[in-house]
Amino acid sequence: MDDGAQADLSPLIAGKLDQNVAEYRLETIQGERWMRCDRRLLRDGDGNPTKIVGMAIDFTDERRHIEILEERSRTDPLTTLLNRRGLAIAFSSLQSADGYSVLALDLDGFKEVNDAYGHAAGDIVLKTTAARLSSAVRRQDLIARTGGDEFVVIIPGNRLAGKGAANRILHRLRDPVSIYDKAAIVRSSIGGIWTPVKDDLSSLIERADAFLYEAKAAGKDLVRFQPEEPSTGL
């Protein structure tokens, strides 16, 4: 990102402004630093600009602290995936000319692992699931943990891209999870929809959830993807 415009003194020199505050980055031998500069224009008795005075403050540590807090507010601390807020923010800027698939999934057998081995084992399952989800989709796809063992994946692209991702995830999550030298079987049920244009994210997830419930009712370890609407023709 070019911060040159932030450091530009031209408006002050021209007398268009009497004061401005700029924040910009500097590349130094110590690495990137963030600076905040307060500049003021001094005028003579006739109102003509005479000189500019200012003070620069290095606020790199403050900036990094803010960035860390912002990142934490968008991610799930256990899996490092997006949380609901982070998913909404990322989806708002996601672009695709071919539409979007929204996949809702949860884990079949997760409660049994928690009951048998404890919550620490459950955490292992969740972190393993997060890694497997990441390996099953592309870098531009969005993955979020939205609840205990509930996840949402958004695939920019056409319907086939979404269905393909759902099936890859289903097969990837069939692999046993190693817990305390034992192989735990935890699989997934997946519901998916495709939309040609963006809609309210909560509404899209709710629609995907309806197909998730269909998958669970049909026996679990299944994908239920929104059927393609038949063309009416003329």
**Which residues are identified as catalytic?**
149
> Residue 223: helix, strand or coil by DSSP?
strand
Backbone angles phi, psi at 69, to 5 degrees: -65, -40
Which parts of 16-63 are beta strand (E)?
19-28, 31-43, 49-58
Residues 6 or more apart whose Cβ sits within 8 Å of residue 118: none
- Cβ–Cβ under 8 Å, residues 94 and 142: yes
Tell me, rounded to whole angstroms, the distance of Cα 67 from its chain centroid. Answer: 15
Residue 80 is which amino acid? T
Residue 139 is which amino acid? R
Closest CA to 16 of 37, 36, 43, 53: 43
What string of DSSP letters covers 161-186? HHHHHHHHHHHHTTS-EEETTEEE--
